Amino acid sequence: MALTQGVVSRMVADAAPAEQRATSFGAFFFVSGIAALFASVGAGLLWDRGGPALAFTSAAGVAALAGAMLTLVPSRR
């Protein structure tokens, strides 16, 4: 988190209007917390049902899918 927290905070601050900045930060961190909760529960269920190999293989698959999806982002040229 130390590598990305400043960048993410800057993106939220730049995207939000000045009068809505605190609300935007609250909404962003609320949604991030809920997503982290679901991801942790999902990983725990995978670990419980299939062991660590299933949990780490699934995480690697999701990371590979996210990396592949980056090719769909248009460049700014």
Prediction pTM value: 0.75
Query: Of 5, 43, 45, nearest to 25 (Cα)?
Result: 5
Question: pLDDT band at residue 75, thresholds of 50, 70 and 90?
Answer: confident
The pLDDT, as a whole number, for residue 77 is 73
- Please tell me the distance from the alpha carbon of residue 51 to that of residue 43, in angstroms, as a whole number: 10
Residue 4 confidence class, pLDDT cut points 50, 70, 90: confident
3-8 LR contacts (CB < 8 Å, sep 24+): none
pLDDT in tens, 6-64: 999 999 999 999 999 999 999 999 999 999 999 999 999 999 999 999 999 999 999 99
